[in-house]
Amino acid sequence: MEDEANSGEASGPVRYDLVVIGGGPAGYGAALYAGAAGMKVALVERDKVGGTCLHRGCIPAKELLETAAVWRTVGEAAEFGVNVEPPELDFGVSQVRKQRIVDGLETGVKGLLRRRKVTVYEGTGWLCADRCVEVDAGESGMLTLQGDHVLLAAGSVPITLGGFDRDGALIMTSDEVLALDEVPPRVAVIGGGAIGCEFASMLSDLGAEVTVLEYAPQIIPGVDADIAKALSRAFSKRGITVLTGCQVTGHTPASGGGTTVQYTTTARSGGDSEEASLEIDAVVVSVGRRPYPDHLGLDGTEVKLDERGFVVADEKCRTTMAGVYAVGDLINTPQLAHVGFAEAIVAVKDMLGEEPAPVDYGNVPWAIYCHPEVAFAGLTESAAREAGFDVATSKHRFTGNSRAMIVNDTEGLVKIVAERDPDGAAGRVLGVHMMGPWVTEQLGQGYLAVNWEATVSEVAALVQPHPTLSELFGETMLSLTGRGLHG
């Protein structure tokens, strides 16, 4: 705990302009932004600054995915005339590297908080009346903070499945997968969303036989159907089995280790369900995350929760209790770190009376770091049609892209969804959906096009550097004008 945090006056609560409960991206983002605006800020964190994203989510997952990418690259080195000994994986070394990166980033965030003069309280904080926050600081005792404003940012935890009690070895959530010291030979990943697909990709690259069991009709719900189909095909080529439209019903552990997962599938024609089973060595439950207001003491306050446990908040992240805000995974918005950052800025601006523009949740960027990567922003083709738009689309594959051929990674495509003008020409860009090499780094111009409501002709006129992967975005856009160069 910072020295200032120990200087509370026994006669009353320590007063702040803003008290933040939760030190993940949304929480520390709010603290940093408020500190930059000159507010006196306290941040209460019961675990580690950086939250799930830094310690049990985004950052460690991407480091292990990069280990998988390096392994994959070395395995393909002979195609470039680089002959190497058969590679060996020491997963423990990767775990050490992962932790070094996480620790370095945590130190960096703490340094930023100090420079913004944010007081960090290590302990469990809960909300009380009059915007007071009680803090159980362990050996340091109980403290009371009072803020002109309070921001709730307690984050989320993995959702578990009934009958699949996690033990960290046979049954795992994302928390345990990221701490593995060796890769199980056969793995069932329950849930084919962004996190499930990342884990399936990583584990497959590192030698596991992987089966993805997804309840929805496609993996990565929210991405355009053409991208989801292409990713399923790419996974299949790599030996990853993808089963959609299936519901897991239970599992039966084997006496010698491993377990048999039971599930039902529904025929695409709408026929009867069929029962099936799968023998595996480990299960990764990746069916989403739930908000985690459990320790916030909200029952005795005016803050309301919805039927799913999310804190009810308006477009400026104001809860039903005056002066109290909620951001990040606590509210029913996309559970993305960058969305949490954006909500933090909206909330602090509102505290300052600056009339912030609400986050446009329908157009936020999504980045999935499986192989091939997936990235998208805006409407899918089907969503655009359901919204009543006359739709024009264009798709181009990386197969003929020179840069993709050079890096030996040609699996994937770019799809643009646009509104068709009354004269029949493609007009405003509604959605950009990508799968392929480094598309998570390429989405930027597509995201800007969607959110600035740019037209196809405006974007197509921009010059794309050659040879680059991003040329395919430009070519796909150009083809919507009716005068594409390469297709």
Q: Give catalytic residue positions.
A: 466
Please report, as a single letter, which amino acid is at residue 146: Q
**DSSP per-residue letters across 325-387:** EE-GGGSSS---HHHHHHHHHHHHHHHTT--PPPP-GGG--EEE-SSSEEEEEE--HHHHHHT
Both tokens of residue 294? 């459990």
Listed in sequence order, the residues at least 6 apart from 115 whose beta carbon sits closer than 8 Å to its beta carbon are none
Cβ burial of 480 (10 Å; 0-12, 13-18, 19+) is buried
**DSSP per-residue letters across 395-439:** EEEGGG-HHHHHTT----EEEEEEEEPTTSSEEEEEEEEEEETTH
Cβ burial of 247 (10 Å; 0-12, 13-18, 19+) is middle
CA dihedral of 451, 454, 455, 460, whole degrees rounded to 10: -110
- For 191-315, list the strands marked E by DSSP: 209-213, 241-243, 246-253, 259-266, 273-280, 282-285, 289-291
Both tokens of residue 233? 């095909």
Distance CA 64, CA 68 (A): 6
Q: How many other C-beta atoms lie within 10 A of the C-beta of residue 244? A: 18
DSSP class of residue 311? B
Distance CA 482, CA 1 (A): 62
Q: How far apart are the first and last CA of the chain?
A: 61
The three-state (H, E, C) secondary structure of 136-179, written as one string? ECHHHCEEEEEEEEEEECCCEEECCECCECCCCCCEECHHHHCC
For residues 173 and 166, the answer to whether their CB atoms sit within 8 Å is: yes
Distance CA 116, CA 108 (A): 12
The neighbouring-strand residues paired with 146 are: 15, 132
